[in-house]
Amino acid sequence: MPNVGPLVDGYGRIHNDLRLSVTESCNLRCIYCMDEDNVDFLKKSKYLSVSQLSELLRVFKKLGIKSIRLTGGEPLIRKEIVEIVKAISTIGFEDIALTTNGMLLQKYAKSLYAAGLKRVNLSIDSLDPLKFAKIRRRGDLETVLRGLEELKILGFADTKVNVVALKGFNDDEILNFIEFSIQYDVAVRFIELMPVGATDLYRDENVLTKNEILTIISSKWDFVENKRVNSPAVTYTGTEIPFTFGIISSMSESFCGDCNRLRLTADGFLRNCLFSTTESPLSQLLDEGANEREIETAVRTEIFRKRFGHGTDTVGYAVPNKPIYKVGG
Ligand code: SAM
Ligand code: SF4
């Protein structure tokens, strides 16, 4: 394992994008992510403090991390979220982004913008208030759309709308989402359902695949595929009207060969993949008073042992022992 130079895994993939979970808790209960009741969220006292986070982020910066995406759980329910964005901004990364369900976006967007947040991905799985309620179980579409309007008012660029594509739930809304992207001038990204939730919704028959999504869209629109640039999404642009949409096809066509991501859980465990079954407790190193060099070595070791692919299509695939809301989506 190289102990200088960029953060590489055993296959030579350079890692420069950190998904940073700031909480496991959530104000919604999406059917593909967590159960409706009795969810076992971590105690808040276990979360990394802002100063612990800053200490780790300084090491990540030295290791070549360029972009940070805040996630969770729902990152906007972490009460120090603005302070965290400020800390990341002060350390200095090329990009600071956030993935949110949008329920608290209108409230926090202005302070987050002032603190240095650059981009937002907003999850909206249905444009029909009743279906929204069925999929997300709590919250409401209207509040989320007010959050989206607020982003526009503030001048946030490159906002994306995430849609988990679910057969039998929102497959009849794919074309509506394209209309929506034209109307709101945002890019929509359809995400294939993945077996990383704590629920039993994941079944092959519930996955709306990339090809099925493309077939639906091509029934109404002409579009061309764009060149892929270090993103999990394949993107497309309309040829008659300049709308853009993306598809994250983790299940039908994995993009592991280009992966540049690592993940830190809210309680300080480093994971080299959303589907990983191993992790390194960086929080423990902090508690033991480890120096920068020791933390750096732990990070390099965890990344170096990353598997080539998430392996969901291999015999003996085991669903990760931590669901997506505990790792950070
Ligand atoms: N709470 C925030 C939100 O919903 O945007 C951030 C965390 S969430 C875990 C991050 C993203 O993962 C969301 O876009 C969500 O829709 C997606 N997601 C969650 N569970 C998923 C699953 N089983 N398959 C595919 N995507 C999933
Ligand atoms: Fe919460 Fe996001 Fe999971 Fe939905 S997908 S339950 S909003 S963490």
Domain count along the chain: 1
Q: Residue 316: what pLDDT? A: 63
| Ligand 1 and 191: CB distance under 6 A | yes
**Does 154 fall in a domain?**
yes
Report whether 262 contacts 16 (CB < 8 A). no
Q: Report pLDDT digits (tens) over 29-39.
A: 999 999 999 99
Atom 9 in ligand 1: which residue has the minimum CA distance? 329
In the beta sheet, which residues pair with residue 189?
162, 246
Look at residue 4 and tell me if it is in a domain: no
Q: What is the DSSP letter of 207?
A: B
Distance in angstroms (rounded) separating the CA atoms of residues 321 and 208: 25
Is residue 76 domain-resident?
yes
Tokens (6 digits) for 230: 């270090």
Residue 113 maps to a domain: yes
| Dist CA 123 CA 33 (whole Å) | 13
Q: Is residue 10 part of a domain?
A: no
Q: What is the pLDDT of residues 46-89, one digit of tens each?
A: 999 999 999 999 999 999 999 999 999 999 999 999 999 999 99
Distance 324 CA to ligand 1 centre (A): 7
Nearest CA-CA partner of 139 in 110, 173, 165, 102: 102
pTM score, whole prediction: 0.96
Structural domain for 90, as ranges: 17-327
Q: Tens of pLDDT along 109-167?
A: 999 999 999 999 999 999 999 999 999 999 999 999 999 999 999 999 999 999 999 99
Task: Give domain status of residue 8, yes or no.
Answer: no
Does residue 5 fall inside a structural domain? no
Determine, yes or no, domain membership for 9. no
34 Cα: distance to centroid of ligand 2 (angstroms): 7
- pLDDT on residue 313: 65
Is residue 323 in contact with ligand 1, taking CB distance under 6 Å? no
Domain CATH for 59: 3.20.20.70
- Mean residue pLDDT of the chain comes to 95
